[in-house]
Chain A
């Protein structure tokens, strides 16, 4: 259990980048994002709603993404998120920084 929590803390620092990557293939709504993160991580990382929303709100505030309400489906309406050009740049920058950090950690750990 402790081990699981540690790894999720490590992953949490990169949630912004994960979301930006997912939005590059098209606009998505909240539950779609969390499902894709779960599936793409081979069911090893299940993002908490709170973690996802704190990331989404931060990205939106920084102008990296935009949001809009979609049409109501059965039950309710969904809010979709769209990546902006600022977000695209942010993704590239974060991805590069991660590659660099990965190399450093690999030689240190």
Chain B
């Protein structure tokens, strides 16, 4: 019966499964309901009765979803949304899930994308001046001709992330892990990858002058790419 309760709660939240706050609310609600169910059993209800009473106590599911939307606003519905050509300065995209989102040609200066899931999203000719990407999932995300000046990247996922014709000079990627990431036609002058991990990372036609790889770990493929570009790899560990 507890499995059934778990499945019921899970089905309520299924459309929101990529949003962090929905996950938390699901966990919280399930915990409440399990305790409630146990109390009903303790009070002498049959498993069937206890299940029914517990599920009935959830109330209107739409009301529950509204309470989620209080935190996300319309962005909750943002899967595959197209934000192109919008001025969205100082936007709050925290914890938002935007798979295949299009943020092309828009001004997102100083926006916060922390804890967001931007899988397969595209940022073409986007102004991302001083944006924050902390704990962001950038799997398959494309940054093309985007302004990334002063951007903060921290604890993010860069699987197959593609930076094309971007200026990343001076940015800090210290301690980050890159997997199949592509830097193409991109300036990484004085960028820092201290203690970063790089696996199958490609640096095509990019400016790598004064890039800092102190303490970084990388596989042979990445190492060979960089070795040919005369980058200082003296403090690098090959893994």
Q: How far is the CA of A34 from the CA of B53 in the complex (A)?
A: 14
- B31 touching A50 by the CB < 8 A rule? no
Nearest chain B residue, comparing its CB with the CB of A76:
B31
- B31 touching A49 by the CB < 8 A rule? no
Q: How far is the CA of A49 from the CA of B31 in the complex (A)?
A: 12
Q: How far is the CA of A75 from the CA of B37 in the complex (A)?
A: 13
- Interface of chain A, helix or strand or loop or mixed? helix
- A53 touching B34 by the CB < 8 A rule? no
Q: How far is the CA of A51 from the CA of B60 in the complex (A)?
A: 8
Most buried by A among B24, B34, B67: B67
B1-45 vs A, Cβ < 8 Å mask (1 yes, 0 no):
000000000000000000000001101111111111001000000
B212 to A: closest C-beta gap in Å? 38
Q: Considering only CB atoms and an 8 Å cut-off, how many residues of chain B contact the other chain?
A: 25
- A53 touching B25 by the CB < 8 A rule? yes
A27 to B: closest C-beta gap in Å? 14
Nearest chain B residue, comparing its CB with the CB of A72:
B31
- A53 touching B64 by the CB < 8 A rule? yes
Q: Is B70 at the interface (CB under 8 A from chain A)?
A: yes
Q: Is B74 at the interface (CB under 8 A from chain A)?
A: no
Q: Considering only CB atoms and an 8 Å cut-off, how many residues of chain A contact the other chain?
A: 21
**Which stretch (A17-25, A54-62, A91-99) binds chain B?**
A54-62
- 24 cross-chain CB contacts under 8 A: A30-B28, A31-B32, A31-B35, A31-B36, A34-B36, A35-B39, A46-B57, A48-B58, A49-B57, A50-B60, A50-B63, A50-B67, A51-B63, A53-B64, A54-B63, A54-B66, A54-B70, A57-B67, A58-B67, A61-B70, A76-B31, A77-B27, A77-B31, A78-B28
Residues of B within 8 A of A (CB): 24-25, 27-36, 39, 57-61, 63-64, 66-68, 70-71
Across the A-B interface, the 5 shortest Cβ-Cβ residue pairs? A48-B59, A50-B59, A54-B67, A50-B63, A31-B32
Known: A48-B60, A48-B63, A50-B63. 8 other contacts (CB 8 A): A30-B29, A48-B59, A49-B58, A50-B59, A53-B28, A75-B35, A76-B27, A76-B34
